Amino acid sequence: MSRGTEKLSGADILQHLQQQPPLVLRGLYKEPANCLVVFTLLNKVARHLVMRLLACHPSSVTQREINHWIRPQSATEMDAAIGLAGQLEVVICEGDHIRLQNDYCNSLRVALAGGGQPWVGIDVKPGREKAVTPEELQTFATASWENLLSCLVQSRHAPDEIVKQTLETAGLVTRDAEGREAISPLGFQFLLQDQQTQLLFYVLHYLPISGLNTVEALSFLFKLCLSSPNKAYPVGALTSNQFLMLQHFHAIGLAYCSHERAQTYYATHLAHSLVRPDAGGDSGRKRFLVVETNFQVFAYNATDLQVELLSHFTALTYRLPTLAVGSITREMVHNAFRLGITGHQIIHFLRVHAHPEMKELPRVTYSPLPQTVSDQILLWEQERARLRSDPGVLYRNFPSRNHYETIRRHAEQLGCLKHSNSERMFLVVTVAGHQPVKEYWAQMFGSGNS
């Protein structure tokens, strides 16, 4: 993974599950949908291990037998897969023997082979509730999520209190001395992430403060992720706690209900993208940027949110109804660095939002982001590492050179001298060394000469 696409800490479902106690994980594994989500999230080697053990269950398998399933050079990857599956309570290690955890095995078999209580959509009966089209669902989900992001960028009020609390708990917003909300450096990094990372980061910080049972909350989330696109589901099948989650997910665009007393709900493409990156979470994202080698930036048909993001590292010159024009400047990029945005995040943002016409050009002719621009942004970032500011105390206006040299030598002996200039007779000592030097001055020359 490149540095430009590094995920925020706390935006990984597997890491979240690894932090759960065994009792919670075993409670999750009683539901086939949960087991299927966990299986989907595992890496290729871990899935291979699970499928092999599923065929062997209820018998256990020795480590030596597992080594015959893989090539010798893949032994390290298999050991890591066993460790991961063990942390997730997917497999049970008993000495040298390994087997699937019983609940996980039984539920995964149901999920893969069929049986049990199906999680299927229902047809909306004519005359009761109007069916929602895929286009309407996508428009609603995109608008709802962008509304939440706009709360960060434009310091607008959150859609509801739980959204506001989640943003604060996640560290995306801060409060000043007067209690006014403002976006934090982490919030700026959040805005430049891809949509799936944003969704995961938000949802995984919402779950602990929702006040809901962990097993019940995760079960509903996973079922929502696996729901069939454009299918209506019965609200009556949800518990009261899950209904509260549904209302919140409706507010942020993960689910859709036509009104508070609706009998059915829909999962949106945003919910599907939580565990399936190819499910279209970013498919509706407009690629609108053209960046030229002279650092000029043209944003075509960009939303207010996109222009607001762009303005944090671009000096906007003018804006027309369908076009915003600006320049990437050293001053604006350094302002972005002070907000906690990194050079790689700026480059990643410019690349993933490059206009389709730029991406269709041959790379030998042009790149979605000119190399001169990306290199210069990284060079500007390196400038911040050249200088380091440290606090100190300045001594100057000495009565004579003898006074200056005496104090300079003493500060040097104490190891607190940071800088001295014999020609102009001034010196700088550390904050910690200021008091000893001051006492030495009073001892040698008296306080009247200070």
> What is the spatial distance between Cα 313 and Cα 346, in angstroms, rounded to a whole number?
8
Question: Looking up tokens 């959040």, which residue turns up?
Answer: 190
Q: Mean pLDDT over residues 239-268, rounded?
A: 88
> What is the spatial distance between Cα 297 and Cα 358, in angstroms, rounded to a whole number?
13
Q: Which of 18, 238, 265, 243 is nearest to 129 (CA)?
A: 265
pTM beyond 0.95: the answer is no
Structure tokens at 66: 């597992």
Residue 10: the pLDDT is 67
Q: Give pLDDT tens digits for 3-57.
A: 444 456 667 889 999 999 999 999 999 999 899 999 999 999 999 999 999 999 8
- The neighbour count for residue 325, using CB atoms within 10 Å, is 15
What type of residue sits at position 99? R
Phi, psi at residue 373, to the nearest 5°?
A: -70, -50
pLDDT band at 407 (very low <50, low <70, confident <90, very high): very high
- CB distance 417 to 386 below 8 Å: no
Question: Looking up tokens 């995760």, which residue turns up?
Answer: 218
> What is the spatial distance between Cα 103 and Cα 82, in angstroms, rounded to a whole number?
18
Q: Give pLDDT tens digits for 184-212.
A: 888 888 888 888 889 999 999 999 888 88
Q: Give pLDDT tens digits for 360-399.
A: 665 544 567 888 999 999 999 988 877 677 889 999 999 9
